[in-house]
A and B are shown apart, each in its own frame.
Chain A
Amino acid sequence: ETGVTQSPTHLIKTRGQQVTLRCSSQSGHNTVSWYQQALGQGPQFIFQYYREEENGRGNFPPRFSGLQFPNYSSELNVNALELDDSALYLCASSFQGSTGELFFGEGSRLTVL
């Protein structure tokens, strides 16, 4: 069984730039959720994708957007980067209809300078 994989693992950007993070879901899972984890904090829900559509969103501005592809992989895009966007971005996959069993990838560490 293939687990959740994310890329890149680390990246550095400057304020105002744009970034795209990628996620491949675990085999058999059709739903992808993205979380932001600031240093020393618990993960915070950004949004979820199911059937290639956004299926729930947390308290994040529209410059955070995403995509899901037919193979259930997903992208997180962040435009107009701000210093506070520096965080670990986690992708989690699950099967729609299951309650809560999320399996996380290792994350993408974004540093905004």
Chain B
Amino acid sequence: GENVEQHPSTLSVQEGDSAVIKCTYSDSASNYFPWYKQELGKGPQLIIDIRSNVGEKKDQRIAVTLNKTAKHFSLHITETQPEDSAVYFCAAWEGGKLIFGQGTELSVKP
């Protein structure tokens, strides 16, 4: 079955800097890769996603890139703000369910 590895587990950046979180997946049949943001005490919120027929997708300060050959995808956040502090999860869609990475705790210091 699908296995998703996510790095780093923690990431600390200064406000205004960029943050990059990387994930790898094992099942080449996976074709949908969402990213979720989870704030303390809340459920995961879908922030951006990408499908396997696209290499890059951008939404304001957030972008996701996908390399199907290498089976990895990344989340890029530019001009980080303190409200970006949260746990971010990548996931891969396999057989009707999402397989999640272990999460990255992002801390943006003002």
**A interface list, Cβ under 8 A from B:** 4, 6, 33, 35, 40-45, 48, 55-56, 58, 90, 99-107
A56 touches B96 (CB 8 A): yes
* Main secondary structure on B side of the interface with A: strand
- Chain A: minimal CB distance from B44 (Å): 5
Contacts of A99 in B (CB 8 A): 31-32, 51, 93
B93 touches A105 (CB 8 A): no
B45 touches A41 (CB 8 A): no
* Main secondary structure on A side of the interface with B: loop
The one of B32, B43, B91, B96 in contact with A55, judged by C-beta atoms closer than 8 angstroms, is B96
- Count of B residues near A, CB < 8 Å? 26
A42 touches B43 (CB 8 A): no
B97 touches A43 (CB 8 A): no
Contacts of B34 in A (CB 8 A): 100-102
Q: List 22 A-B contacts (CB under 8 A).
A: A4-B43, A6-B43, A41-B102, A42-B6, A42-B102, A43-B89, A43-B98, A43-B100, A44-B100, A45-B98, A56-B97, A90-B43, A90-B44, A99-B93, A100-B34, A101-B34, A102-B34, A104-B36, A104-B44, A104-B45, A104-B46, A107-B43
